[in-house]
Amino acid sequence: MNGRPEQFSAQPNELLVERLRDGLGLTGTKVGCDTGQCGTCVVQLDGRSVKSCLLLTASAAGSRVTTIEGVTERGGELTGLQEALRQEHGTQCGFCTPGMVMALGELVENTADREAPTEPEIREWLTGNLCRCTGYHSVVRGVQRACSAARAELPEEIGEGAAVSASAGSAASASASASGKEV
Amino acid sequence: MTAVTGDVPLQGSGLLGQPLDSREDPQLLRGEATYVADIDLPGTAHMAILGSPVAHAKILSIETKAAEQLPGVLKVATAAEFTGVMPLPCIWIPGGVESHFPPHPYGLPGARPVLTGDTVRHVGDPIAVVVAETPRQAAAALAAIAVEYEPLPVVTRADEALAEGAPQLHEAVPGNLNAYWTCGDKDRTDAAIAEAEVTVELDLVNQRTINSPIEPRGAVGDYNAATDEYTLYASTQGPHNHRFLLSALVLGIPFNKLRVIAPTVGGSFGTKGYLYPDMALVLLLSKALGRPVKWVDTRTGLMNSTVQGRDHRQHVVLAGTRDGRITGLRATSYANLGAYPSTIGPGVATALMGRSISGMYDIQASFCEVYAAFTNTVSLGAQRGSGRAEAAFLMERLVDRYASEIGMDPAAVRRKNLVPKEKFPYDNGLGWTYDSGDYQLNFDKAMELSGYADMPARKAEARSRGKRLGVGIATYVAICGVGPSTRMSKEGMLGGTWESANIRVHPTGEVTVTVGSASTGQSHHTVFAQVAADELEIDPALVQVYEGDTLKAPYGQGTYGSRSYSMAAPAIALTARKVKAKLVKAGAVFLGVPEEKVVYAGGKVYEDGNEENAKTFSEMAMAMWYGWGLPHEIEPAIDETTHFDPPDFNYPFGTHVAVVEVDELTGETEVVAYTAVDDAGNIGNPKIVLGQIEGSITHGLGQALMEAAVYDEQGLLVSSDLTTYALPRAADVPFFTLDKTTTPSPHNPLGAKGAGEIATVPPAAAVVNAVVDALSDLGVQHIDMPLTPEKVWRRLRGEAE
Ligand code: FES
Ligand code: FES
């Protein structure tokens, strides 16, 4: 659990999200629905994002679980993705935010060694996470920003080839924020 | 009280208008914010609510014995337990009554009790509560409560509830009519319609929708027997207002013994400003059990208990000349109030909608009548853009219908009828006086930015791909800045609608701002610090903002109707001016020059013409704290408060253009471009407002395309979770093209107008107009929302609605 071993016994019908919030006090993971639709409860299980309200605690035994608390320390420095979301104001009420960060973390981390995701890809990736406040625009721009930042840090030969496709993404981002600045 | 007009020029440092990063964001991004479900007081017990499974029935008996004996159960309570508790007040009683105190229980037939004892009136109507050691135990015990019902006939539509022989909801309200409300000039309007060259009519359904903040509601009650004080933590957008309603009007406890705290709130969009039974129940049960009592709703629970929105059935008529001049407008609306009058629901369905129907147009004869009826559905309340969105929808649908009738371009008709710039302030004949605006400029900008002139070519190109491209325009005026107290009293609002702010300057030069407003995601801490820092010309990092706790902050009605920046922020700016005035007075003493020679600028006081003789803000703060050498008439310390009650509302406006492509084969509608030019007056933080505009438009698109609260004939809410109630997802929306015009409001010192929700007002109309445009050659003149693929597919095949 967030890099530390945790040992406990769970009821057979206990959901992972209940264990996280009520049992371990990791309240950064949120509950927004009762049907697995909203994505506020997303955590990473062995590096893959999963909805912790759809998972029995017992089935996570032996896996690496990362919650939002495991992404950054309390008051600690933001990750590249979080920083990009901050710059684009990708969060308003913030209730969807931890789930978004957990779901998007997987996408952004994996872009370093492949083509940066396109806008439709990012939107598709976000399909499991509902946000009522932002309408997703600032979140999508945040991901575009995070991906270009991640690629800018790559070794020269990958980074340069990548710069072309990354700039397509950031051009969209730039025009959106340029018109945004007007408002 | 301070009534100020904008002719006092703003003397800021230029910080306002800058897109400062939100200081709330890092905490939210790290998942550190505390929402109500995250509050864990020692010894907390957990409450669950038994809601009625049927929409309308007499309760014959409730058996709770079995539930009481289940493991962990501490208490099971029914209505019998709370007979001394008053029903939940409705504080917006339309009809123009002058307010009276106490407003309760007068004028409230049908008010909702904290638990229902005799008759249930909608699915989810709370009947009993269980408190147990754990949430699971409480929920499990609900199943062991046996209730015997005698079913009664059900009605879920407002027009049907008013018909002869309809099921009756409340004995005290024969015929189910809560209010018949009108505005405008009926005779003049009828005459204009009778004499018109052209009239067009539409029957519209503005479907019921569910606001769906992503955080469900929740409440924690904590009674302290030692001090006889109550604390309520609730997911609320108006802690002060809830304190007033709960203490004085429901529980009958002294106002100063109840503290209400809004922790971080996960979205609201109007719904969390209402008083709900759970808020009273957690306090009552905490007192009964001597422990904190916590309740957190589920999504399905939210959908069956939290106020829903829109829900009008309307017959609307527009009169005009053959050459495009609108001469009359009449609307008859049947508004569905649900089973009980919610806190301000009746006002939303009447005044907020009716007085806005003519929008940005100069119409000499308008009239609106609303029949607000009770039905066996969840109570009606506010919803992002509420009232204004319903108004814009009817008007903008009518304008398109009229344009097609006279064979004129819809943009040209609109342009011809916009209120001209010279006519402000403009009395719209329906009860509002628009403060300021340049509608032509705004409209032209939107037409240009959207590439409206190129649409014919784009239509042809789309057709070659099997898509029908349609374009739809919608304009709007949104009344914001609730509100001027006297004006609101005439509207029937019972409660102080002003807003206040306090500024304390600490000896070290840091500043604390407290406001009555309470954010539900609008970055108040960032923006309010920006306002204070701008006016005091200091670094915003020195300013800390507190809100959302009735013990720490001065009174304010809270955040709703896009009022924080045009109500709370002016209170802050005016308070900062008081601080500056005091610093000038005291500065004269410390600088040793007469007061007329003291200047406050750049975050310091100095002698006019001799900037060497100066004291910085923090030096002054320390000097004022010591108070040494101050003459008797100057009090030491710096602690100022303002109660801001504006002379009138403010009226943001705008023009939106939707471009859609309808798939010939599937009936699917895709929004391919969306342009919005909004005018929210002077904007404090464009980054924050941008986010609100984008979210608002997306919300509006949701109503147009996919959202609907659907009740079956038994009154069961069929769309009661997120698998059956569709919300827009990231892939459903494109990036928008956004711009603004700026017409400051004269009604507050910042020149601000409401911004938060205004962009939710026009999208539904713009999208429906666009789809109807795409299908116009098939003779389609209207399609009811939501525009599901099936509905559109049928119309593509010539089926009637
Ligand atoms: S809580 Fe909504 S998906 Fe898990
Ligand atoms: S920021 Fe409020 S739900 Fe996403």
How does DSSP assign B197-223, residue by residue? SEEEEEEEEEEEE----SSPPEEEEEE
First to last CA, chain B: 54
Instruction: Determine the residue of A18, A20, A27, A37 to mutate for testing ligand 1's pocket, defined as the one with the most ligand atoms within 8 A of the Cβ atom.
Output: A37
* CA separation for the pair B93, B681 (Å, rounded): 30
User: Least CB-CB distance to B733: which of A74, A76, A135?
Assistant: A135
pLDDT value at position B145?
98
pLDDT value at position B12?
74
pLDDT value at position B3?
34
Ligand having the closest approach to the CA of A39: 1
Say yes or no to pLDDT of A165 above 60: no
Total residue count of chain B as it appears in this document: 801
A94 interface with B at CB cutoff 8 Å: yes
| Assigned token pair, B169 | 């909801």
Chain A: nearest CA to B382, how far in angstroms? 16
User: Least CB-CB distance to B738: which of A25, A123, A183?
Assistant: A183
Chain A: nearest CA to B83, how far in angstroms? 33
* Residue in the structure block whose two tokens are 């994996």: A110
pLDDT in tens, A62-77: 999 999 999 999 999 9
* Residue in the structure block whose two tokens are 């909203």: A38
3-state secondary structure of B643: strand
A93 interface with B at CB cutoff 8 Å: yes
* Ligand 1, atom nearest to A36 Cα: 3
pLDDT band for A153, please (50, 70, 90 cuts). confident
- Number of other CB atoms surrounding residue B454 within 10 Å: 11
| Preferred mutation among A137, A145, A181 to probe B, highest tally of B CBs within 10 A | A137
Omega cis (within 30) before B277: no
B299–A35 CB contact, under 8 Å: yes
A147 interface with B at CB cutoff 8 Å: no
Amino acid identity, residue B324?
A: G
B450 alpha carbon to ligand 2 midpoint, in Å? Answer: 28
Give B625: exposed, middle or buried? Use CB within 10 Å, 0-12, 13-18, 19+: middle
Chain B: nearest CA to A96, how far in angstroms? 7
Chain B: nearest CA to A100, how far in angstroms? 9
Question: For strand B229-234 and strand B499-505, is the pairing parallel, antiparallel, or unpaired?
Answer: unpaired
- Number of other CB atoms surrounding residue B585 within 10 Å: 16
- Measured CA distances, B127 to B116, B380, B408 (Å): 5, 20, 57
* CA separation for the pair B76, B61 (Å, rounded): 15
Q: Which residue of B has its CA nearest to A13?
A: B136
pLDDT band for A154, please (50, 70, 90 cuts). low
pLDDT value at position A182?
35
pLDDT value at position A162?
38
Would you say the CB of residue A130 lies under 6 angstroms from ligand 2? no
For chain A, the C-alpha Rg in angstroms (whole number) is: 17
Could you tell me where the DSSP H helices lie in B407-454?
410-417, 439-450
E strand or H helix at B372, and its extent?
A: strand B366-374
E strand or H helix at B130, and its extent?
A: strand B126-132
3-state secondary structure of A56: strand
Give contacts of B38 with chain A, Cβ < 8 Å.
Answer: 21, 27
Give contacts of B215 with chain A, Cβ < 8 Å.
Answer: 30, 32, 93, 95
Would you say the CB of residue A51 lies under 6 angstroms from ligand 1? yes
B307 alpha carbon to ligand 2 midpoint, in Å? Answer: 19
**∠ CA(B56), CA(B349), CA(B89), 5° rounding?**
65
Amino acid identity, residue B230?
A: Y
A94–B266 CB contact, under 8 Å: yes
B614 alpha carbon to ligand 2 midpoint, in Å? Answer: 47
pLDDT in tens, A70-128: 999 999 999 999 999 999 999 999 999 999 999 999 898 877 667 789 999 999 999 99
A75 interface with B at CB cutoff 8 Å: yes
Q: Which residue of A has its CA nearest to B18?
A: A181
Return all residues near B670 (Cβ < 8 A) that are at least 6 apart: B660, B661, B662, B663
Give B510: exposed, middle or buried? Use CB within 10 Å, 0-12, 13-18, 19+: middle
* Residue in the structure block whose two tokens are 């991901």: A143
E strand or H helix at B374, and its extent?
A: strand B366-374
3-state secondary structure of B604: strand
pLDDT in tens, A20-79: 999 999 999 999 999 999 999 999 999 999 999 999 999 999 999 999 999 999 999 999
CA B327 from chain center: how many Å?
31
Q: Is the CB of residue B544 less than 8 Å from the CB of residue B529?
A: yes
* CA separation for the pair B192, B366 (Å, rounded): 9
Q: Which residue of B has its CA nearest to A101?
A: B29
Q: Which residue, by CA, sits nearest to atom 1 of ligand 1?
A: A31
Total residue count of chain A as it appears in this document: 183
Instruction: Determine the residue of A38, A55, A97 to mutate for testing ligand 1's pocket, defined as the one with the most ligand atoms within 8 A of the Cβ atom.
Output: A38
* CA separation for the pair B750, B742 (Å, rounded): 12
E-strand stretches of B705-777 = 737-740
Ligand having the closest approach to the CA of A142: 2
* CA separation for the pair A87, A96 (Å, rounded): 17
Q: What is the phi/psi pair of residue B150, to 5°? A: -115, 110
**∠ CA(A22), CA(A24), CA(A27), 5° rounding?**
65
Q: Is the CB of residue A52 less than 8 Å from the CB of residue A43?
A: yes
A131 alpha carbon to ligand 1 midpoint, in Å? Answer: 12
Chain B: nearest CA to A139, how far in angstroms? 9
**∠ CA(B125), CA(B707), CA(B112), 5° rounding?**
20
E-strand stretches of B622-728 = 638-644, 653-663, 669-679
* CA separation for the pair B759, B763 (Å, rounded): 7
Residue B38 is classified by DSSP as G
| Assigned token pair, B455 | 């649409």
Could you tell me where the DSSP H helices lie in B270-387?
277-289, 299-305, 345-347, 353-354
Amino acid identity, residue B372?
A: A
A28 interface with B at CB cutoff 8 Å: yes
| Preferred mutation among A89, A130, A144 to probe B, highest tally of B CBs within 10 A | A89
* Spatial CA neighbour of B491 closest among B182, B99, B111: B99
A92 interface with B at CB cutoff 8 Å: yes
Q: Is the CB of residue B522 less than 8 Å from the CB of residue A92?
A: yes
Q: Which residue, by CA, sits nearest to atom 3 of ligand 1?
A: A36
* Spatial CA neighbour of B392 closest among B325, B455, B329, B322: B329
Rounded to the nearest 10°, the torsion over CA B125, B129, B130, B135 is 50
Q: Which residue of B has its CA nearest to A94?
A: B28
Q: Is the CB of residue B220 less than 8 Å from the CB of residue B58?
A: no
Would you say the CB of residue A32 lies under 6 angstroms from ligand 1? yes
* CA separation for the pair B405, B201 (Å, rounded): 11
B686–A181 CB contact, under 8 Å: yes
B267 interface with A at CB cutoff 8 Å: yes
pLDDT value at position B720?
97
Split chain B (801 residues) into runs of 10 and give each run's mean pLDDT.
38 87 96 98 98 98 98 98 92 65 61 95 98 97 98 98 97 91 97 98 98 98 98 96 91 95 96 96 98 98 97 98 98 98 94 96 97 97 96 98 98 98 98 97 98 97 96 97 89 88 97 94 96 97 96 87 92 97 97 97 96 97 97 97 96 98 97 98 96 98 98 97 97 97 96 96 98 97 97 94 72
Q: Which residue of B has its CA nearest to A99?
A: B31
* CA separation for the pair B480, B442 (Å, rounded): 18
Could you tell me where the DSSP H helices lie in A7-67?
16-18
pLDDT value at position B270?
93
Q: Which residue of A has its CA nearest to B686?
A: A183
B694–A67 CB contact, under 8 Å: no
pLDDT band for A158, please (50, 70, 90 cuts). very low
Question: For strand B638-644 and strand B610-616, is the pairing parallel, antiparallel, or unpaired?
Answer: unpaired
- Measured CA distances, A49 to A111, B56, B701 (Å): 15, 43, 29
Q: Which residue of B has its CA nearest to A72?
A: B30
Q: What is the phi/psi pair of residue B295, to 5°? A: -135, 130
B686–A180 CB contact, under 8 Å: yes
A105 interface with B at CB cutoff 8 Å: no
Say yes or no to pLDDT of A155 above 50: yes
pTM tops 0.90 = yes
B220 interface with A at CB cutoff 8 Å: no
Q: Is the CB of residue B378 less than 8 Å from the CB of residue B173?
A: no
Handedness of CA B220, B221, B224, B225 (dihedral sign): negative
* Residue in the structure block whose two tokens are 């007329």: B596
B34–A132 CB contact, under 8 Å: no
pLDDT value at position A160?
41
Give contacts of B266 with chain A, Cβ < 8 Å.
Answer: 30, 32, 93-96
A35–B723 CB contact, under 8 Å: yes
* CA separation for the pair B570, B562 (Å, rounded): 14
